[in-house]
Amino acid sequence: MKASDFDYELPPALIAQEPARPRGASRLLVLDRTRQTIAHRRFRDLPQYLTPDDVVVLNDTRVVRARLRGRRPGGGRAEVLLLEPRADGLWEALVSPGRRLPPGRSVVFGEGELEAEIVARTPTGGRLLRFRGEGDVAALVAQQGELPLPPYIQGPLHSESDYQTVYAREPGSSAAPTAGLHFTPEVLDAVRGRVRALVTLTLHIGPGTFRPIRTQRVEDHDMHSESYLIPQQTADAVSRALAEGRRVVAVGTSTARALEAAAEGGQVRPGAGRTDLFIRPGYRFGVVGALVTNFHLPRSTVLVLVCAFAGREAVLGAYQEAIARRYRFLSFGDSMLIL
């Protein structure tokens, strides 16, 4: 497959710079694969498309204050984007400017109460950091950090809650599971009251989700790896639904990716794992039967996943209709339900 097969012209004016207000006021495009129809609704209408037999799965990851702005000893600005903690007390991170921050250098934050020593390079070009500070280092990192917004969002957040789902619980992501940003407590309660089970898993989303496919062939793209955890309760509810022929509804591509990565023999394995699963057209979904998602960047791996689920022509056709109707795109944009 060519990367250009997943390209489309996105008018910059349709890239949402802030969420719909109030939360949950976003639009919902409903793409029915069986009937080959498109309906235009509001996100609050989502429960109407669910059934009492459905199992709905959410990603309860929480975005952490992973971007830290500091300075190099002797002067000069520096920026650190935390990716993942390591078991040995180190952090994997991206740093800028990379050429001026080789192993052995440090970055100082605030008034010097927090410092990050660069210990080593990673095979992917990142860095391993060790933090030192005056007091509780974890608290200092949270105090000095800020939520890392996607590169296409220009302004500051009105509130940090804008970039967290109402059910965010497990800290660890450097990007939000944006399909879940539309939920309000009221919509969540309506979903819970309508379906067989509403369960969660955790997949911590890294900045690789924004990395476009730069290879000519989609298959040559080097997919990023992410960690996930599927609780026993979630695995049981999903596996039971699969055994009984009931539908599993994934909220977000990250949820879909974790469920498919943990699928084995018609069931979903509980526990922790890592996945670099690259879902693209030709992939046979073993778990997910319906998908709630946002409108994604051209040539992105998440757009490829959505095309694998609903068909490239159907998805890009729906995108063209959404553009014509002035839907809002990307992280703070409108929502899409694929049945």
Q: Among 3.30.160.270, 3.40.1780.10, 1.10.3720.10, 3.40.50.720, name the CATH number for the domain at 3-63+158-338.
A: 3.40.1780.10
Residue 255 — pLDDT band, cuts 50, 70, 90? very high
* SS3 of 47-114: HHHCCCCCEEEEECEEECCCEEEEECCCCCEEEEEEEEECCCCCEEEEEECHHHCCCCCEEEECCCCE
Check residue 125 and give its pLDDT.
85
Check residue 206 and give its pLDDT.
86
CATH architecture of 67-146: Beta Barrel (2.40)
The boundaries of every CATH 2.40.10.240 domain in the chain are 67-146
Share of the chain above pLDDT 70, in %: 100
Tens-digit pLDDT profile for residues 113-158: 999 999 999 988 899 999 998 878 889 988 999 999 998 999 888 8
Check residue 60 and give its pLDDT.
98
Give how far Cα 238 sits from Cα of 203, 248, 289, Å.
16, 7, 11
The alpha carbon of 20 is separated from its chain's Cα centroid by a whole number of angstroms, namely 18
The structure's pTM equals 0.93
Average of per-residue pLDDT across 308-322: 98
The boundaries of every CATH 3.40.1780.10 domain in the chain are 3-63+158-338
Tens-digit pLDDT profile for residues 190-248: 999 999 999 999 999 988 887 889 999 999 999 988 999 999 999 999 999 999 999 99
Tens-digit pLDDT profile for residues 146-194: 999 998 999 888 899 999 999 999 998 989 999 999 999 999 999 999 9
